[in-house]
Structure 1
């Protein structure tokens, strides 16, 4: 597994920690990784390694308030600002690889960000992959906003059937282990409303992947949002028994094989 190089970007609320995983040979495409809530891009080494083996040079960034980036921990007051931050990564990667197609892969909250990015800048992407994205509605957010759900930290057992994944998550000092913050909850709600109003994913072909046993971001609610934004020609794939982090699930090799098969239709 290759060690990534690191660099910084000037985000909307301070310095952003970014990483680049080089391709083992001449790269065929650029893959941008967009991580989920409370975590950081360092948790995607395995995903990056599989993409590198497929011929990608891979880039990722810790969102504001996450990982090694600046900002109050796990505080996001407007996700469109995070979309703008992610655009800095895209421009940086494109400048370093001007002749290569660019693929965007987002997970969970990062899937929501990626969906918004695809609706605004899809013409600049070869394709889009959404892993267990927050789309449509997220009842957890609404319950926390109206006080019907107790604001507790994420349950690591919801991530994967592999207990080592939850244990590593709990022990990771760069992961946010506290409860949601009120401005972040409201920002989720606002961003979902924006995505539901459009524009749709008219300019980029997308693949939605989801575990059917996902308790954190349930499949049914995301399906509602997917039907709103998906265009003719977009694709969906589900995995029976899989929980939220399908890139860390016991069938992760199958999932990532599905990702690279899809991507290779467009690069």
Structure 2
């Protein structure tokens, strides 16, 4: 069943217009509502989220997503945020918007990569009204960043916060599905650069979120490809081990790369996610 997405927008606390999208089942009321949080350089209607949206709406879930500030069709300097708190505030504003529209339905957060980090960080701080979190290859491990780079990035953030830098993403390691990767990365809204300020804020958020893992209090599902070299699985494994909640699950996929939503085994990933969501309705 093909889902239909209806673009609209909302305004951030500092006045930016951020684009958002809704996809609902074409038959029957939704069983639950899912907010998708995209990753770095991505946007809410890119190929991975279209795949997942089509699957979940077929199974009677309503989907809500938005383009981060400086991403996709949203306003803001490209790949820039003044502070991580601005990104968190944007998600909080969007969650409030969805909750006002769907006051009676279960609401889940699903985040991929940097979106997974944001979903976890947000749920630590603002768990009220959320039924659970699914974090797909969450960006929790900065061990792959050389120490010199980790030292230089905060300096550049202070001196030239909006400068364009290339983090050296290896596109071949996004997924083993070469055709999907080509379509995904040829999207004109897909971005591979970043800025020193955003990079510095992400590094701080990784550290803060990991340090507060024990305070996580919502049902949690983590999904990670075992061959992910972009975000190493060790980070999500460590976070998972520190979460004291009994209602937690972590699934890994042998041979799978970073973006499980466009991986060769994505149907299995989708099914695992759906079954977990259904168990938590």
TM-score, normalization by structure 1? 0.92
2:39 aligned with 1:39: no
Q: Are the aligned partners of 2:240 and 2:250 in contact in 1 as well (CA < 8 Å)?
A: no
2:171 aligned with 1:156: yes
Equivalent of residue 187 in structure 1, options 171, 196, 201: 201
Deviation sequence 1:195-232 (CA, Å, 0-9, x none): 13326454311000000000100112332233334522
2:233 aligned with 1:219: yes
SS at match of 1:7: strand
Aligned to 2:30: 27
2:19 aligned with 1:17: yes
Q: Partners of 1:221 and 1:33 in 2: how far apart?
A: 21
2:6 aligned with 1:2: no
SS at match of 2:25: coil
| Residues 1:220 and 1:86: Cα distance change in structure 2 (over 3 Å) | same
2:257 aligned with 1:257: no
Structure 2 runs not aligned, ≥5 long:
154-164
Structure 1 runs not aligned, ≥5 long:
none
Deviation sequence 1:163-185 (CA, Å, 0-9, x none): 0122113311101133x321111
SS at match of 1:20: strand
Aligned to 1:75: 80
2:106 aligned with 1:101: yes
SS at match of 1:8: strand
2:260 aligned with 1:246: yes
Q: Partners of 2:235 and 2:19 in 1: how far apart?
A: 32
| Residues 1:135 and 1:212: Cα distance change in structure 2 (over 3 Å) | same
SS at match of 1:60: strand
Aligned to 2:149: 144
Aligned to 1:48: 53
Q: Partners of 1:200 and 1:84 in 2: how far apart?
A: 23
Deviation sequence 1:137-186 (CA, Å, 0-9, x none): 353375533469x94542221111000122113311101133x3211111
Task: Report how far residue 83 of structure 1 moved.
Answer: 1.6
Q: Are the aligned partners of 1:145 and 1:182 in contact in 2 as well (CA < 8 Å)?
A: no
Deviation sequence 1:36-79 (CA, Å, 0-9, x none): 00011112111011111121111001011110111111113422
Equivalent of residue 197 in structure 1, options 204, 207, 211: 211
Q: Are the aligned partners of 1:158 and 1:244 in contact in 2 as well (CA < 8 Å)?
A: yes
C-alpha RMSD over aligned residues:
2.0
Q: Runs of 4+ in structure 1 displaced over 4 angstroms?
A: none
Task: Report how far residue 245 of structure 1 moved.
Answer: 0.4
Q: Partners of 2:245 and 2:67 in 1: how far apart?
A: 29
SS at match of 1:215: coil
Aligned to 1:88: 93
| Number of aligned positions between the proteins | 265
Task: Report how far residue 192 of structure 1 moved.
Answer: 1.6
